[in-house]
Amino acid sequence: MKDIGKLMGKYFFVLAFLNIITILIGFYQSGNLFIELGGMIFLIWGGKSLIQKSPKGRKVVIVISGLLLIVSLVISIMTFLGDVPTGLRIWGFEITENSDKSTVYLFSLFTFILFFIPFHFLRTETAIKEFEGEKLIDTDEELEME
């Protein structure tokens, strides 16, 4: 796959657009407008930094995506075991005591899948070469030379 940075950057812009749509759907259903500004900033900044091939941006996106994977997995496990975590918002939808368990479970799995994609692709050897330059440092060879 060529140009992983550009592809993942555009992917993040699509996620930002999807986030706006879900915020509007949540507003239509509940009448409450709740804009997840932190998520929007992350998606837009992450998309921009990936398109610009920023090595630091790539690392930040990997870390935040990993944290989102852990959180969505914990929510999925909690919901599967019987407790619906209340007081959260997933993609603009508020989770309350009356929320359907299957909906919460599906939203958290959906979030897991959406952020697993950049987490996986940005850690590949091709992405490392693309963001860090053509020289890929092999630590074993470097240690042997010293």
Q: Please count the residues of the chain.
A: 146
Q: How far is CA 113 from CA 48, 52, 119, 128, in A?
A: 21, 24, 10, 22
18-27, 34-43, 86-95 — which is least confidently predicted?
86-95
Chain CA centroid to CA 38, Å: 12
Beta bridge partners of 90: 93
Give the per-residue pLDDT at 145: 57
Angle value at C-alpha 26, between 25 and 27, nearest 5 degrees:
90
71-75, 79-83, 93-97, 118-122 — which is least confidently predicted?
93-97
Range of the domain at 59: 4-145
Look at residue 93 and tell me whether its pLDDT is greater than 80: no
pLDDT tens digit string along 71-81?
Answer: 888 888 888 88
Give this prediction's pTM: 0.77
Which spans in 31-100 are helix H? 37-51, 55-81
Angle value at C-alpha 78, between 109 and 18, nearest 5 degrees:
30
φ, ψ at 89 (rounded to 5°): -130, 130
17-26, 78-87, 101-110 — which is least confidently predicted?
78-87
* pLDDT mean across residues, the chain: 83
Task: Name the domain count of the chain.
Answer: 1
